[in-house]
Amino acid sequence: MATYKRPDHFTKAAKARGYPARSVFKLEEIDRRVRLLRPGQRVLDLGCAPGSWALYACDRIGLSGRLLAVDLQPIAQMLPANATFLQGDVLVVAETELAAYAPYDVVLSDMAPNTTGNRLADQARSYHLYVFALSIAAKLGGQGSSFVGKIFMGPDFELAREETRKHFDQVRLLRPEGVRANSFEIFVVGLGKRESPRLPGSSRSEPG
């Protein structure tokens, strides 16, 4: 039987502001802390359903910006005119479809696997989604662009951070207030995408 979870403070506040999910507060905090989104940007939102990040980002980039939002699931949320929704599995959808507005200024991934309760297996699947999103950001992000990716903390986390450092000048780890206390998710933020990836063994410009 499905268990009913009482809406918490963040969920109620999100609904009051017209967002379908509390996740909006995570992106809002990340945006405030790293100055991510600006008018006119091109944004790719991977794992967008039910649509809170997409709505927030569309508002920040304005009508001169463009956003492509992708998810396995359909979304009920109407998106503004500067957004396009693509239903599909990011892992298999043609790269040309993801490249609709490339080069992107910002690539977002809030993708998460359906959790099974087996923590190691869930972490491994989250790592896989994270690394895939990072590879898309590496290919379709413009020079100097930014990346935000969600990952479940686990044994592969350091590998994910190292991989991110190859592509971005600065790598920051953020756990916004909106993350539930019992969640082991964290957001890795890459800023300043390099023209070409840093080669293994070369010195780091940023400790992260």
Ligand X SMILES: C[S@@+](CC[C@H](N)C(=O)[O-])C[C@H]1O[C@@H](n2cnc3c(N)ncnc32)[C@H](O)[C@@H]1O
List, by residue number, the catalytic residues: 150
The token pair that represents 31 in the structure block: 């945006």
Size of the site for ligand X (CB under 6 A): 21
Does 90 contact ligand X by CB under 6 A?
A: yes
Stretch that binds ligand X, among 8-16, 97-105, 108-116, 195-203 (CB under 6 A): 108-116
Judged by CB under 6 A, the chain residues 149 through 168 that form the site for ligand X are: none
Characterize 112-144 residue by residue with b for buried, 16 or more Cβ atoms within 10 angstroms of its Cβ, and e for exposed: beeeeeeeeebbebbbebbbbbbebbbebbeee
15, 40, 80, 91: residue in contact with ligand X (rule CB under 6 A): 91
User: Residue of minimal CB distance from ligand X?
Assistant: 47
Contacts of 181 (CB under 8 A, 6+ apart): none
| Residues 34, 191 contacting (CB under 8 angstroms) | yes
Stretch that binds ligand X, among 83-91, 95-103, 174-182, 193-201 (CB under 6 A): 83-91
Task: Give 22 or 165: the residue with its C-beta nearer to ligand X.
Answer: 22
| Cβ count within 10 A of residue 35 | 10
Residue of 184, 42, 187, 196 whose CA lies nearest to 115: 184
Residues in contact with ligand X by CB under 6 A are 21, 23-24, 47-53, 70-73, 89-91, 110-112, 129
